[in-house]
Chains A and B, each alone.
Chain A
Amino acid sequence: MNPDTHALAGAYAVNAVTEDERASFETHLEQCPDCRAEVAELRAAAATLTSDVEVTPPPALRASVLSAISQTRQLSPLVETTGTRNPPGTPEASPSSVAAPAQDAPVVDELAARRGRRLQPWLAGVAAAAVIGVATLAWQPWDDADTGQQVTATEQVLRAEDAQRLEQPMGASEIAIVRSPSMKQAVFVADAMPTPPAGRAYQLWFDVPGLGMVSAGMIPTSNATVAVMLKGDASAATGAGITLEPETGSEHPTSDPVALFTFA
């Protein structure tokens, strides 16, 4: 490996990198245990820089945080099939199984578990942009209480019986594509997508056999949660991707993907 690549470990550890640098360094981190260890150590060292700075947030913030978490679902743990974090009695994964709340009984196939291991650096807080091609596959029924209200088209896909959720980290946020083969539709969901550079926006693509990457629409720029239906037939696609494009969108991808999803 180019020694110059390792040299970015310090800047990366303190988030002093651009999104592009972050993405490429994280590809490097996947295969460089030295840099992973160094990043963790340098982060701990950096944290001491403000060890003399304590600012007590207002009590209202505490109340607000605690109220928010009570309404916020936690991510499913990434389960290693041979690992110790797999709770006893976890059922074997099966595409048709409908999981209890994922926190208690994660439904993850072996491939996803392998991918999960590769995601570990990020999970430990080596905050990562999308690591290409390592989406975690889980069949994820939404455990939100059904309010009985009319649901949008987007929600219908999210709640579909056969909805498959492919999630992966992108920066500090978690992005996911939820696809329902029976509805032939897919929805992109994210909270707090990294802000694209000025004049640019994230564009969604379906990977369609014979056609290649076909535009599936733009992701609106927002700090809040985004849920956007992908345009096109999701059942015909074998995967999806996201690239940075001019705000008006492109006919074909003009940059390397920042995220790729492979449909099962």
Chain B
Amino acid sequence: MVVMAAVGSGDTSLPTAAMGPDLVALLTRAARGDEAAFAELYDATASRLHGLVVRVVRDRAQSEEVTQDAYLDIWRHCTRYDPAKGSPLSWMMTIAHRKAVDRVRSAEASKAREVTYEATTVDREHDSTLEQVEVRLDQQRVRRALASLTDTQRGAVELAYLGGHTHTEVAALLDIPLGTAKTRIRDGLIRLRDTLEVTA
């Protein structure tokens, strides 16, 4: 299990004990073509990455494609991973998130072209997916951090990050001026960072 302490590592501000495998070491080995190390990396991170992808994409079959795609990208790019720019998990989550967002946006683009597309199956998938989401109990720290955000900040951040919407879309959804959505997303993330004392 990758506890959330791994999120901030690169980082020394969070405890590294009991954190599971050393992701930097695994990534370094994987970058040299070590497939067994990559398998370990997968095992250590897959439920986190897939959890994120499912939250954003919702549809289960598509989520699996996206997660696979993300790991392939991680494999291809791990030769160029630079620890100075973020922890392995943060780097991998970023790749997965980008893939998930690209997927929902391209799905929307094609839906806009083909109005006949039925959304009903998506809803059904959504429900069955949610049943599989395990909610961990030891998340008080994150909850406290989230609680430190204002409702409007949290709403904007969640629409952007979990909803996969652009800040322009967030502004439209919340019926607030463009610059305001941008600011709320940034302020919310900064507050989250500062409360959690996450560094990259």
Contact = CB atoms under 8 A, between A and B. Distances in A.
A78 B80 CA distance: 7
B198 A41 contact: yes
A77 to B, nearest CB: 4
B189 to A, nearest CB: 4
A192 B106 CA distance: 11
B46 A62 contact: yes
Given A47-B90, A74-B76, A53 B52 contact: yes
A41 B199 CA distance: 5
A72 B193 contact: no
Interface of A: 4, 7-11, 13-18, 21, 36-37, 40-58, 61-62, 64-66, 68-70, 72-78, 103, 120-121, 123-127, 171-172, 174, 192, 194-195, 197-198, 223
Q: Give the 4 A-B CB pairs with smallest separation, nearest first.
A: A124-B85, A10-B186, A40-B200, A16-B160
Given A42-B193, A72-B76, A54 B38 contact: no
Interface of B: 1, 4, 7-8, 11, 31-33, 35, 38-39, 42-43, 46-48, 50-52, 54-55, 63-64, 67-69, 71-73, 75-82, 84-87, 89-95, 97-99, 101-102, 105-106, 109, 112-113, 129, 132-136, 139, 142, 145-146, 157-158, 160-162, 164-168, 170, 179, 181-183, 185-190, 192-193, 196, 198-200
Nearest to B73: A172
B87 A9 contact: no
Contact of B142 (A14, A48, A174): A48
A127 B98 contact: yes
A52 B157 contact: no
Contacts of A172: 73, 95, 98-99, 102
Contact of A74 (B31, B43, B47, B64): B31
A100 to B, nearest CB: 13
Contact of B31 (A41, A56, A77, A171): A77
Given A11-B167, A40-B90, A123-B82, A55 B134 contact: yes
Contact of A43 (B67, B86, B109): B86
B106 A58 contact: no
Nearest to B1: A54
B186 A124 contact: no
> Which among A4, A43, A121 has the highest number of chain B CB atoms within 10 Å?
A43
B35 A195 contact: no
B166 A16 contact: yes
Contacts of B78: 74
Contacts of B112: 198
A55 B54 contact: yes
A54 to B, nearest CB: 4
A51 B142 CA distance: 8
Contacts of A61: 46, 50, 64, 67-68
Given A40-B85, A45-B192, A65-B42, 14 more contacts: A9-B186, A11-B181, A40-B90, A44-B90, A45-B189, A49-B146, A53-B134, A54-B136, A55-B47, A55-B51, A61-B67, A65-B72, A69-B38, A74-B79
A58 B2 CA distance: 18
Contacts of B55: 50, 53
A105 to B, nearest CB: 13
B85 A69 contact: no
Given A124-B86, A174-B76, A44 B200 contact: yes
Contacts of A198: 109, 112-113
A77 B106 CA distance: 30
Contact of A44 (B86, B167, B181): B86
A41 B198 CA distance: 7
19 contacts: A8-B182, A9-B186, A10-B187, A17-B167, A37-B200, A41-B198, A42-B193, A43-B94, A44-B7, A44-B90, A44-B193, A50-B48, A54-B47, A61-B50, A61-B68, A62-B39, A124-B84, A125-B86, A195-B109
B95 A47 contact: no
